Amino acid sequence: MPSATTEMTVAGKHLEVRHYAPRGHAVVSPRPPTLVFLHEGLGSVGLWRDFPQALADATGCPALAYSRQGYGRSAPIALPRPLSFMHDEARTALPALLAAAGISDAILVGHSDGASIALIYAGEQGGCLRALVLEAPHVFVEEVSVISIARARESYRAGPLRERLARHHGDNVDGAFYGWADSWLDPGFRSWNIEEFLPAIKVPILLIQGEDDEYGTLAQIERIERQVAAPVERCILAQCGHAPHRDQPAATLAAMAAFINKLG
């Protein structure tokens, strides 16, 4: 069955959602968990491209990707976003989505801001989690992140970046971009830190990061490894930037599939 894009109403707001049924005969278990994809700060369902389908096929797990409110074809959001936007997503929107979709056994596949949301959720709630698969997670603010986001804002104002993002976000494009960039560049965001949630995480974690990540360093990975109460695997990819599933798709897919397939 091909993937299907639909809308779901979650907490009174419509969200763009895409379901992926695994093709082929790979099976993790008789009742495999659902892979739930949490996109980056400028991401959406469409920007995952065909990666969720490929991971579903490689693991035998059904998958779901959604555009958070203010992204893709989901409901718009008013600006400015609160600086607690990742905490709010983990505490309210994500649990509501899982409940509405009937998902009680999940592996969260998070990228960048999505990975941070997954960590907050796992540290505070996490009752339905089998594991976490995280690309380029942030647990504190680094200067390299601030510098790169400031450059992205200049590129957006110049035009080409806005044009590219508008193909995926439509009328949400300005809200999606400035909601992300202005939050990260707000002086009050410099103290943002989610390390307090790490010791409570008990599920296995795969951490993937590119050696050339322009938005974060390996210090993020190292802090997670030191503080979680769970087995952690890392995959550091050469010639790879902030989006391993786009920059090194074959290696990223192989690492994720191997990790998920041995969970049992």
| 165-217 residue pLDDT tens | 999 999 999 999 999 999 999 999 999 999 999 999 999 999 999 999 999 99
> What pLDDT shows up at residue 24?
80
> What pLDDT shows up at residue 7?
86
Residues of the chain with pLDDT under 50: 1-2, 26, 28
CATH number at residue 222: 3.40.50.1820
- SS3 sequence of the chain: CCCEEEEEEECCEEEEEEEECCCCCCCCCCCCCEEEEECCCCCCCHHHCCHHHHHHHHHCCCEEEECCCCCCCCCCCCCCCCCCHHHHHHHHHHHHHHHHCCCCCEEEEEECHHHHHHHHHHHHCCCCEEEEEEECCCCECCHHHHHHHHHHHHHHHHCHHHHHHHHHHHHHHHHHHHHHHHHHHCHHHHHCECHHHHHHCCCCEEEEEECCCCCCCHHHHHHHHHHCCCCEEEEEECCCCCCHHHHCHHHHHHHHHHHHHCCC
d(CA 264, CA 262): 5
Residue at 135: amino acid letter = E
Q: How many domains does the chain have?
A: 1
> What pLDDT shows up at residue 6?
84
> What pLDDT shows up at residue 189?
98
> What pLDDT shows up at residue 29?
59
Write the pLDDT tens digit of every residue in 40-61.
999 999 999 999 999 999 999 9
This prediction has a pTM of 0.96
Pairing of strands 34-38, 106-111: parallel
Instruction: List the domain range (segments joined by +) for residue 52.
Output: 4-261
